[in-house]
Structure 1
Amino acid sequence: MGLPVVLVHGMRTSRTMWRAQVDALERAGHVAVAVDLPGHGERAGEPFLLDEAVATVRRAVDGVGGRALVVGLSLGGYVGIAHAARHPDQVAGLVAAGCSSRPRRLLVGGWSLAARGIVRLPDHGAGLNAFMVRRFLPAQGAVDIGAGGFALLVTEEVLREVARSSPVDDLARIQAPVWLVNGRFDHFRGDERLFLRACRDGRLVVVPGATHLVSVVAPERFSRVVLEALDEVERRPAGAVAPAGEVPMTR
């Protein structure tokens, strides 16, 4: 079997969003484990705490042998960065997607204000969420991302906790290779060059035509990035560092 993979979902979604990647990885001979973060999926109702989110990843990596490629999207990307900085021995490589913006107070405050307004709706925003899923996601992606339910009440907690993180500082401490993956039209790629410069061993992949939920809107292309990352991690000599740069993604 190849190097195992731990996948970490985005805010308000769950581990089911990774179904396409789990299938692709298992067909390629890798153990793939997708986790539910606190407050999401089967752990709905738990408070979201960044420390517990990181601990969730740590336990998952322990469960697959103690070392893995960690893949995170959006919230999962920020959690993956924090985990890699705190538990370097567990991380053979990191794919951090849709999380190349610093959690500035103004940005987080704006999202928190919007979240408070949405959660006051009679359905807590369920109708708006369902419309966005139908409008912007492919049919199978909508099924997968909705299968674990949506954590509509957790947004403010998540934003408050993510605001405590320091992803740029954490990236500078990570010695494992890092892939920053963003959709071309992702609104969270504003600091991607800063994030790339912070990496000791980083590369940037921009997926043409894709939006924030790049693994869901472009599942085959995203899976290929993960498989290529696995191939590089497994082939490279111990201690080798590749030059940081942008990796073209045109197919």
Structure 2
Amino acid sequence: MAATPPIVLVHGIRTSGTMWRAQVEQLRASGFEVTAIDLPGHGTRMAEPFSIEAAHAAIDDAIDAFGGPALLVGLSLGGYIAIDYAGSHPDRVAGLVAASCLTLPRGPGLWGYRALARLIHRLPDRGAWLNDTMARLFLPPAGFEDMAAGGVALDVMDTALAAVGRLDPIASLARYPGPVWFVTGSLDHFRLNQRAFAAAKPQASVVVIRGATHLVSLVKPGDFTRAITDAAATLGAQPSEISGNS
């Protein structure tokens, strides 16, 4: 039997590791080792330039601190990065939870998203009021507080979107031999290519959280934490070489 792996949480675009405060609290109370990183350009690292390589290095540092492979959990931007990392470093990822990232980051959708990001960035406050207003409208109060606690990365959006647009999550999933869980809200708009993701990893579990939107971990924190603990418990019940199995 394998020990339950440590857990590394990777946040979404413009947020920070504080968006995972509910999960960190609940997971630690249940006895899990867990850390929530800040990606470059976000949170405590807001002054740093964003790149996929620097994001991978941040995950490397977190896994090194635990001394072994981890259950890697990413949401939205963090989900795409986690998928890419797992495909590139399969021996360091005991299992992968990819949330709110079942749309391929390319084509007209990405171009439109980048154009909107550039337009918002031209506002006098670079979109701070709009970001806070929309977050307060669509998140519960505790979720908004957790998201806002680490600050909002107003300057990183177009750079991060351009970087993610160069990734190939389908190929990365095909390269990663370990177990995968796709987690999405039933109301998430990032599900356009769910079939393609599922086809790339037919053995993956798909967890749909009813009533949750894109920021599923903030909208339904208890349900999302349960999805993580279920994945971690599955890994803990498997032989230690599971990261090399499909």
TM-score tier by shorter-chain length is: over 0.9
Instruction: Give 1:107 deviation, angstroms.
Output: 1.5
Tell me the residue number matched to 1:133.
Answer: 135
Letter in 2 for 1:140: A
Shift of 1:2: 3.7
Alignment gaps of 5+ in structure 1: 245-251
Within the alignment, does 1:119 sit opposite 2:131 as a pair?
A: no
TM-score (norm 2): 0.95
Q: Separation in 1 of the partners of 2:211 and 2:77?
A: 21
Structure 2 match to 1:193: 195
Q: Partner residue of 2:214?
A: 212
Whole-Å separation in 2 of the counterparts to 1:240 and 1:215: 26
1:175 and 1:28 map into 2 onto residues whose CA distance is 28
Quote the residue 1:248 is aligned against. none
Equivalent residue, structure 1, for 2:20: 18
- Measured after TM superposition, the shift of residue 240 of structure 1 is 6.3
Identity of aligned residues (%): 49
SS at match of 2:73: strand
CA distance in 2, matches of 1:147, 1:240: 36
8 Å Cα contact 2:178/2:242 also seen in 1: no
Which amino acid in the other structure matches residue 28 of structure 1? S
1:189-228 deviations in whole A, cap 9, x for unaligned? 1111210110163111111000000000000000000000
User: 2:29 aligned with 1:27, yes or no?
Assistant: yes
Q: What is the DSSP-based 3-state SS (H/G/I as helix, E as strand, rest coil) of the residue aligned with 2:159? A: helix
Within the candidate set 81, 104, 107, 2:109 is matched to: 107
1:175 and 1:201 in contact (8 A); partners too: no
Counterparts of 1:200 and 1:68, CA distance in 2: 22
Higher relative contact order (CA 8 A, sep 6+): 2
Q: Is the 8 A contact 1:85 1:174 kept in 2?
A: yes
Please identify runs of 4+ aligned residues in structure 1 that moved more than 4 A. 238-241
TM-score of the superposed pair, with normalisation by structure 1: 0.93
Instruction: State the alpha-carbon separation in 2 of the partners of residues 155 and 74 from structure 1.
Output: 13
Unaligned runs of 5+ residues in structure 2 are none
Paired with 1:115 and 1:102, the residues of 2 have a C-alpha distance of 18
